[in-house]
Chain A
Amino acid sequence: DTEVTQTPKHLVMGMTNKKSLKCEQHMGHRAMYWYKQKAKKPPELMFVYSYEKLSINESVPSRFSPECPNSSLLNLHLHALQPEDSALYLCASSQGLVGYTFGSGTRLTVV
């Protein structure tokens, strides 16, 4: 299995809603990432988990809350988002400095 699976593929949520994005990989990769990508912009790093521990938080607002329940799963909990948070949210995994693999992403719209 060489894939990173993200669910849901599309999500529309109101500014008062709570939702979660999910990511799963079965490649044995020890690092997992959340990236945010706005239209016509490159991906921007949000969080890095290494060996299930949060190692990098790129000063992301607290309305985004990551969670790594085990070495294969990565969640991003969303609460009280703003319309400007609408974007493509990408999960990725890697083994060291090789093999960065992205999932297909979740297209999030905040209304």
Chain B
Amino acid sequence: QKEVEQNSGPLSVPEGAIASLNCTYSDRGSQSFFWYRQYSGKSPELIMSIYSNGDKEDGRFTAQLNKASQYVSLLIRDSQPSDSATYLCAVNEGGSEKLVFGKGTKLTVNP
């Protein structure tokens, strides 16, 4: 069973700070990497996808991928209370259509 590990959290940051979320994966054949945000009682919402090594920025969000280290991260700059949610790292398994999720990190941004 391919594994995706996330720092268990919970993670608490003050408003305006940078939140850093980390994820490692076991399947070297993985090609696609995603970060989902899930509010309590809601479905996961795709916020970032990354497919090649390096950084990808979208607004306040930056995803970082290092395939050699099998490591994916998400940085949230200028964190807002509305960013408080569970963040799920997801990795496709061996180039297949199957998406494997980490257990998620609960982020709380304090006003």
Residues of A near any B CB (own CB < 8 A) = 31, 33, 41-45, 48, 50, 55-56, 88, 90, 92, 94, 96-105
Rounded to whole angstroms, the CA-CA distance of A103 and B49 in the bound complex is 18
Closest to B103 in A: A42
A-B contact pairs, 23 of them (CB 8 A): A31-B97, A33-B99, A42-B103, A44-B101, A45-B99, A48-B97, A55-B97, A56-B98, A90-B43, A96-B97, A97-B51, A97-B92, A97-B95, A98-B32, A98-B49, A98-B51, A99-B46, A100-B34, A100-B46, A102-B43, A103-B43, A104-B42, A104-B43
Count: A-B pairs, CB below 8 Å: 54
Docked pose: A43 CA to B32 CA in angstroms? 17
Among B31, B99, B103, contact of A100 (Cβ-Cβ < 8 Å): B99
**Complex-state Cα separation, A94 to B32, whole angstroms:** 12
Size of interface on B: residues with Cβ below 8 Å to A: 24
Asked if A50 and B43 sit within 8 Å, CB to CB, the answer is no
- Closest residue of B by beta carbon distance from A107: B41
Give every chain B residue within 8 A of A56 (Cβ-Cβ).
96-98
User: Which residue in chain B gives the minimum CB-CB distance to A104?
Assistant: B43
Query: Which A-B residue pairs are the 6 nearest by beta carbons?
Result: A42-B101, A97-B32, A102-B43, A105-B43, A31-B97, A102-B44
| Cα-based distance from A111 to B11 in the complex (angstroms) | 36
**Is B90 an interface position by the 8 A CB rule?**
yes
